[in-house]
């Protein structure tokens, strides 16, 4: 994994530069929520969920059918990214700092960053956010405050991506959690080919 660190605020980082980075297969991270600096990441092995082989575990599929949460798209972007930046029981530190939050909120205003949200009794209980460019969707982060809320959001994300003509769901890295849904590691050379194909067309998330 290659990494180039530096203070983004001193570089004049803009949403337009961020989109060009995604188009080149690069994305930003921070070491900590309180660290103002970001660094660029280009993994040697890229996490991808093939949309045509997305797998929903049987117990989760049953819960999705029961519809325990109200699912909304792009209703509360700032609240979702803030929740993703919070420390959790299994995640004491986060890579989402203020610079990243501000940039992605601006991307959302431009129509390039989106959320899938789970609501219960008017309360946000889970969600995820990511970036769309061409026919690619770059998943960034997710959170849950209720059982399976973020997983159900992922199921609804994939459904929407398929319906809207997307061909690439980039998860950046793979985890055991994502592998349950069919996530695989793709060598950077193969990922570049997949990305080029996805950027060669247009799909609308909204």
- Write down the domain spans for the chain: 2-199
pLDDT digits (tens, 9 = 90+) for 125-156: 999 999 999 999 999 999 999 999 999 999 99
CA distance linking residue 134 with residue 16, whole number of Å: 14
Range 2-199 classified under CATH 3.40.630.70: yes
Stated pTM of the model: 0.92
Helix/strand/coil for 93: coil
Per the DSSP assignment, residues forming a β-bridge with 130 are 114, 139
pLDDT digits (tens, 9 = 90+) for 15-71: 999 999 999 999 999 988 888 889 999 999 999 999 999 999 999 999 999 999 999
Token reading at 18: 């961020």
Do the Cβ atoms of 69 and 144 come closer than 8 Å? no
């Amino acid at each position: 994994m290659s990494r180039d660190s530096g203070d983004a605020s001193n570089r004049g980082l803009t949403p337009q530069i961020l989109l060009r980075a995604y188009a080149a297969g690069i994305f930003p991270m921070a070491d900590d929520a309180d660290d103002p600096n970001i660094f660029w990441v280009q993994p040697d092995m890229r996490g991808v969920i093939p949309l045509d082989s997305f797998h929903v575990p049987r117990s989760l599929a049953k819960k999705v059918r029961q519809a325990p949460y109200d699912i909304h798209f792009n209703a509360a972007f700032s609240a979702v990214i803030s929740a993703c930046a919070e420390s959790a029981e299994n995640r004491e530190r986060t890579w989402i700092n203020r610079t990243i939050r501000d940039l992605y909120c601006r991307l959302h205003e431009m129509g390039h960053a989106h959320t899938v949200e789970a609501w219960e009794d008017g309360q946000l209980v889970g969600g995820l956010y990511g970036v769309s460019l061409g026919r690619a969707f770059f998943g960034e982060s997710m959170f849950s405050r209720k059982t399976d809320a973020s997983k159900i959001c992922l199921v609804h994300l994939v459904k929407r991506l398929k319906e809207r003509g997307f061909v690439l769901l980039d998860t950046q890295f793979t985890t055991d959690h994502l592998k349950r849904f069919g996530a695989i590691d793709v060598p950077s050379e193969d990922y570049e080919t997949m990305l080029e194909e996805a950027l060669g067309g247009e799909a609308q998330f909204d």
